[in-house]
Structure 1
Amino acid sequence: MDINALRQITYGLYVVGTSDNGRPTGCIINTCFQVTSENPIVAISMNKNNYTHDAILRHRRFSLAILAEESDASLITTFGFQCGRDRNKYEGRDYSWQHDTPVLKGKFAGHIICELLHVADNETHDVFFARVIDTLPDDGTPMTYAYYHQVIKGRAPKNAPTYVAEPETPNTPETPRPQSTKRYVCEVCGYIHEGELTDDFKCPVCQAPRSCFKEI
């Protein structure tokens, strides 16, 4: 089956946050949609391996920060490519508690606070259906998944429902690559850079140094 048609489905990017026994934890998701209009219900898809998945099941409430094109790009690195089991992703970030959920401050397209209603099992992922109990508007331009891939040049983490493994093309003596088309991937966040890297180069997404880049 050719799954390329699935890549035309539109998505956004969101930081979902919840309480882990009083400690804030969260992750990046790309699947959220509104189910009902009156007394609104939304649904989000989460990989069962995500630490935030289990924290939401325990706490039953979560917040959604709708990422904007103007949002701090390091949010994607911290919440999308690091694990809440190992670290507090909110450490050093400005946030407040709203309805017993962590709400990030900064430039976003808005915030939604939800209470879990029920869960639908979908093999590797669960779909959480939740009642919207509050919203916090903002005026950022919503970041689409297409913008993330095409402008920021980021990749989907393995736990994302849209993840597709992309084989690397080896740079062998038999298939030399012209200097002008060298490509490097950031091993921290997955950003792909085309062209040479200067000694003082930093990843535009996560600010990782040149040493964190590998030629592909």
Structure 2
Amino acid sequence: MQFTLRGVAVTVTPLILLALILGLGIAGYGGYDYVQQSDAVDDAVAVETTVVGTDISRSDGRRFYYRISVEHTYEYQGREYTSKQVFPGSTRPIYTVRSDAQRSIEPYEPNETATAYVTPDNPSGAFLKRQTVFAPFRFIGFGSLLALLTALHAIGARNPGQNVGISQTTGREPTRYDTVFGFNRDTLSRVSKRLMLFTPAVFFVSLVTIVGSSHRS
């Protein structure tokens, strides 16, 4: 499907539409999770909890990373709950160095008491560290980048006149519609298409580097 928006030709294919929805969805998920984290930190109620055990799990594959969990039990409004969350939110941080993961769970020894934080709307998901984490921003960044590159690719040049019975001319003077944000539309289309191929790789590399290193302390 092709249409013109304020003098700029836009081409939308099923693949472009899917990539755009996917990018916006991923970015939206990251933003939603960060808001949930912030609300949980602000609204949480402190309770006493008993640590049952700690665990550090390692991913498989060549680019491995570590995740942590601390199982603990507590009572809230007369009911007993068990949680394994250390941080609020559904997106857990990862660590590229085991010692960093170990340092995060070091204060929690089995059979000892600690302070947990419970949100009234999710009493079964108490967490131990009352702070937000950087993890959701990798989804925001990846989704936004994918959506941006997809949009730039959609407004790139598509051989005007092809398959519509209009002959293309050569040697004409460029018009203001030949550029987007000051860049040649042909070049913009080619570059954005190539960058889209590298975006997933950048996302997974950042998954085990930027996020992991941000939790070193």
TM range (shorter): under 0.3
Q: TM-score when scaled to structure 1?
A: 0.26
Q: TM-score when scaled to structure 2?
A: 0.26
Higher-Rg member (1/2): 2
Task: Give the structure with the larger strand fraction.
Answer: 1
Task: Give the structure with the larger helix fraction.
Answer: 2
